[in-house]
Structure 1
Amino acid sequence: MGMKHVAPVGVLLAATTFLGAPAHAGSLVAPSGAKPGGAKNEPVGGARLGGRGVIAPTGVKAPPKTAAQSYVVADAETGEVLAAKNAHGRYLPASTLKALTALTLIPKLDKDRKITPSRRAVNEEGSAVGLVPKPLYTVEDLFKALMLVSGNDCAMALAEANGGLATTLADMNAEAKRLQAYDTVAKTPSGLDKPGQSSSAYDLTLIARAGLANADFRRYISTKTDKFPAPKGYYEIGNHNRLLWSYKGMIGVKNGWTSKALGSFVGAAKRNGHTVIVSIMRHDGSFWGDVASLLDWGFATRGKAIPVGHLVDPIPDPPPLPTASPATPTPAPIAVSDPAGTTRGEESVPPGLYVLGAGLLGGAIWLAYGLRRRFR
């Protein structure tokens, strides 16, 4: 009995079933117990940043004391963390969360787009710029008021312009994960206190550092005063960041306060071509002097001490999937005319083969018949 040939398609199917689907080389599944952004059981940014007390370098003057329960001092260019206290302590961020709101939404919204705030946005509680439900504002106007006067009404209006509150919160939390700001959970776009919302001094530093790389973000946070549209003309608004008016080289970022969060601040200043970022959380008094002292210490210490940790880089975007090349079309059979005038495809069996096969079969029968008679 002759051997049957397996069709090529069958071979491919069998091979696929046997081998299974290929694994994705870019899998982000971490081993059990590992924390994203660091080695197993190591805090993001380095092992020393897991401590609750003050973490400072040796061989240099100690950082100044502060009433803040948590802080980070970092070099924005190198990413070196120069000193910290309870860097990953999770606290209510208050309006410092607006830095994440701005960083998330600036790339998504056309700054020249006209916005008509909803009644919900206009009536948002807490600090506000005083929106009215009329098409008076551009997205850029709202971003300026968000970062200058901490407008909660602007935060809601921007969230609605981005497709709604749920969409914006999902985008903010995705951006936090991209930055490896894993202590941060956004429950509001404004930073108003809400159960489950959190951030850390380390995360606020990551967010500020990423924001400084965006030209529009830098422009909004460094603006001292601006004109804001009103039903009858405009009125002036001024930046709530006091250090913009008093600290040499202050770039700005964002301050915040609520009765539950207490005082919080994240800010950046530049001197002699170098930028230092300071973040503080849960300060129970006026924190401006403490922040200025920490900035001074950071400028005096950078480049002279071994860092206590580092600011991690954002997770890179996944590489684009390879573009499938278009399938090569199967050439149509070439029509060939035989001498009899009939048309056949190139894969048809030529008539000569039939004649040859018949001759061979007849010869075999005749040989078998002759051998049979001989043996008899």
Structure 2
Amino acid sequence: MIDKLREIKKRYEAVRDELAEPEVMSDMKAFAKLSKEYKDLEKIVVKYDAYDLALSNLENAKAILQTEKDPEFRDLTKAEISELEPQIETLEEELKTLLIPKDPNDDKNALLEIRGGTGGDEAAIFAGDLYRMYQRFAEKIGWKFEVMSATEGTAGGYKEIIVSIEGEEVYAKLKFESGVHRVQRVPDTETQGRVHTSAATVAVLPEDEDVEVELNMSDIKKDTFRASGAGGQHVNKTESAIRLTHLPTGVVVECQAERSQIKNYERALKVLKARLYDLELQKKQAETSAARKSLVRSGDRSEKIRTYNYPQGRVTDHRINFSVFNLPMVMNGEIEEFIEKLRIAENAEKMANSVKTD
């Protein structure tokens, strides 16, 4: 581990020197890329410097204890060693976590897609509840939250809604949300008070300004149609809605959120690129999971990941067998505890797998 940390510090110092060079400072793209790398490396280097200093202090303290005869000074040295040893142990664990290979998509913005699943009108209503949950979570963090496309349910909520989210570590925090979310409650339409089970699917797609997908525009079929839903008379007068079909994969994207056909086209293209990129990611995850199944993220979007039980006020994440009994707060955007525990579970998996391959 020490050798790896020394290499990281060398690279950190090299990047710092590069950032000061005039040709780099004049190239905004190169400067931004190096600044990002510098920031990432700095977290490790700061922790490594503290660890290195603590090791040096421990070594000096033990050396003093070997030669020092004065009882009072020996007691002070022993007290220092007692403080340093657990401190070093903590720093070592923190460094191990920082050295876990990072998901290259973690710092990216994301597209959040929510669709009503089994359960008819109630599923669409629940999809709307999930949308508001993520919206409130985004507001608390300070992310930009923008609806790209939405199809409303007949009794409320959404049959489908796609949102663009921009901010710091959006994908890192939301990537564990992909999968089937199940709700158990008495619907407003239920006259006999019976609890029904409905579901909505959530997909979180990493998005990049320089998306790693090359689109051949001749592979895309573009259709225009009249928007439906909210929008007044304009909805029925102009064909501003856009449907894009990627012929090689059959992926279809519709966008009707804007009054402008051009803006809807730009948004639809953005969603299409993210979906095609996500298809490639899922292929890679499927190849990996063939050899090693991940507890936290299997890449299977049809997997039931969480249940929201209203009669019991309970939310359970089935991947880590973790429950909380504060459902109203969760639906108000308090999902940090789930995110943190899933992140810890994924890191534990990565550390275990790195030990196996070493």
TM over 0.5: no
Richer in helix (by share):
2
| TM-score (norm. length: structure 1) | 0.23
Higher relative contact order (CA 8 A, sep 6+): 1
Query: Which is greater in Rg?
Result: 1
